[in-house]
């Protein structure tokens, strides 16, 4: 067996797929990292107009965890009254923030929640995604969540987990529930 000289290094981790649990998995990693005294930055793309339980929960982890919600809400569904350009501008500011936070070297873990969705919708273009990945260098672990992860990102990642829906309560007429879904 060949000896692996590189025992540990910062990882690029992607949680994707149509199943539930991508953000939840990333937040679980966040809690684990806080337990080791790490500094974590979370930037949420797309999400923005709704109030989620994780927002209150993450505030309890301050100052070790910093949360930025940069989206203008879900694009083109339910209560979306923003133009595509407004969503795109917000995502662009999120990209700038992500590059700044990643390149600062202050964080051992950076989570870019729903970035895959922003890329898939055209709010973030492939060059902006490349700029985010280039800012990382080898300084910290980076987690990117959201459906439809781009093939190029999957190819670069060290770990990719695809969430697959097997069964969902919504299909049985059960609505999303506080503390479980939001």
Average pLDDT value for residue range 14-21:
95
pLDDT tens-digit readout, 74-99: 665 666 677 878 889 999 999 999 99
Domain boundaries, the chain: 12-165
Q: Which tokens belong to 51?
A: 């109030």
* Residue found under tokens 């979370």: 42
3 state DSSP class of 143: strand
pLDDT tens-digit readout, 39-75: 999 999 987 655 677 778 888 999 999 999 997 776 6
3 state DSSP class of 17: coil
pLDDT tens-digit readout, 104-142: 999 999 999 999 999 999 999 999 999 999 999 777 999
Mean pLDDT of the residues in the chain:
89
The confidence band for 27, taking pLDDT boundaries of 50, 70 and 90, is very high
Give me the pLDDT at residue 65, please: 97
For residue 73, give every residue at least 6 positions away whose Cβ sits within 8 Å of its Cβ, in sequence order, or none.
46, 47, 48, 49, 50, 79, 80, 82
* Percent of the residues in the chain that have a pLDDT greater than 90, as a whole number: 64
3 state DSSP class of 16: strand
Give me the pLDDT at residue 77, please: 62
User: Global pTM?
Assistant: 0.89
Per-residue pLDDT for 30 more than 90?
yes
Indicate the class that CATH gives domain 12-165. Answer: alpha beta
């Amino acid at each position: 067996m060949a000896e692996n000289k590189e025992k540990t290094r910062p990882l690029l981790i992607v949680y994707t797929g149509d199943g539930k649990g991508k953000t939840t998995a990333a937040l679980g990693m966040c809690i684990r990292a806080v337990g080791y005294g790490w500094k974590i930055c979370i930037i949420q793309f797309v999400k923005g107009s709704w109030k989620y339980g994780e927002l209150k929960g993450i505030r309890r982890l301050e100052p070790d965890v910093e949360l930025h919600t940069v989206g203008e809400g879900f694009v083109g569904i339910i209560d979306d009254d923003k133009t595509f350009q407004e969503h795109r501008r917000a995502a662009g500011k999120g990209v700038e923030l992500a590059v700044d936070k990643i390149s600062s070297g202050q964080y051992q873990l950076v989570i870019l929640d729903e970035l895959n969705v922003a890329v898939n919708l055209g709010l973030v273009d492939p060059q902006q995604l490349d700029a985010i990945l280039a800012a990382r260098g080898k300084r910290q672990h980076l987690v990117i969540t959201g459906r439809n992860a781009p093939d190029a990102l999957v190819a670069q990642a060290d770990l990719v987990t695809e969430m697959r829906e097997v069964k969902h309560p919504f299909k049985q007429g059960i609505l999303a529930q506080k503390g479980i879904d939001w």
